[in-house]
Amino acid sequence: MTPAEPRIAVLRAPAAWRVIDFISDLHLQAAEPANFVAWQRYMASTSADALFILGDLFEVWVGDDIADSAGFEQECGHVLATAARRCDLFFMPGNRDFLVGDVFLAACQTRPLEDPTLLEFAGQRWLLSHGDALCLDDTEYQQFRVQVRSPDWQQNFLAKPLAERQVIARSLRAQSEARKRGSQPSDYADVDTRAARRWLQATQATTLIHGHTHRPAEHDLGRVSLAADGAPAGKKVHLRRAVLSDWDVAATPPRAQVLRASARGLQRIDLCAC
């Protein structure tokens, strides 16, 4: 199945939902406690009825058994479970934490979310994705993504001892960081506009919300006529994509944004400015 024709999951928001928050790319890890503290504070205070985590909550995840014993991952699970008593939580895998599994999510009372998912909320259709599958110019990564998302690769990897998986993960991270050091930010592949438009038109959605690129912005993808299958084309509407921020509260300037959706539209909330 090509990125232009994904299998689309559909989620219809309960009538009681009035506010939804979206976050992604926090890359939580024990070595960066400031990000964890900012996330923990946000999770305990958000007024949203539902929270969608669109990938890369963790810098790395080598299997749900990493949270079986006391440590950073288990502490993150406690934060999720506590927040789940106040709002509905959803998790979509990213390119760093695609091995987060149903066991961990169930323990945290967090629902898994397929990539992509069409969300029907507040009279609109919102298409949600981590975004990495749409960065088509990064052909090396796309080949790697196909490999590690295959059931056989994941089964073989998860069958290895935890310590061995952690060594492999550290090696992959080191390779990724070395690649970044040899590139400029402008060299990183961005979401392919034509593919994003095809995804939106296929789902009759007008807004794509995604992370992955660490380039928070609003992009106008042009005007198209949207119509349900078999119906005549309606009036032209603007397509757009809203890119989520990564989180790095120790950066200059610090970064930690939430994208909030309501009947009034989308609002960016800068937690570092509060």
Say yes or no to pLDDT of 104 above 60: yes
How far is residue 184 CA from its own chain's centroid?
Answer: 23
Q: Structural domain of residue 228, as residue ranges?
A: 9-273
Residue in this structure with the two tokens 């198209």, named with its chain if needed: 224
The pTM (predicted TM-score) of the whole model is: 0.93
DSSP lists the bridge partners of residue 236 as: 225
The tens digit of pLDDT for each residue in 107-149 reads 999 999 999 999 999 999 999 999 999 999 999 999 999 999 9
Q: Which two tokens stand for residue 160?
A: 């290895």
pLDDT band, very low/low/confident/very high, at 236 (cuts 50, 70, 90): confident
Residue 4 lies in a domain: no
Q: How many domains, the chain? A: 1
Residue 152 lies in a domain: yes
Residue 122 lies in a domain: yes
235 versus 268: the higher-pLDDT residue is 268
Residue 212 lies in a domain: yes
Distance (Å, whole) CA 253 – CA 259: 18
CATH number at residue 115: 3.60.21.10
pLDDT band, very low/low/confident/very high, at 14 (cuts 50, 70, 90): very high
DSSP lists the bridge partners of residue 207 as: 126, 240
First to last CA, the chain: 43
Determine the average pLDDT of the residues in 236-263. 95
Residue 1 lies in a domain: no
Distance (Å, whole) CA 169 – CA 198: 34
Distance (Å, whole) CA 14 – CA 39: 26
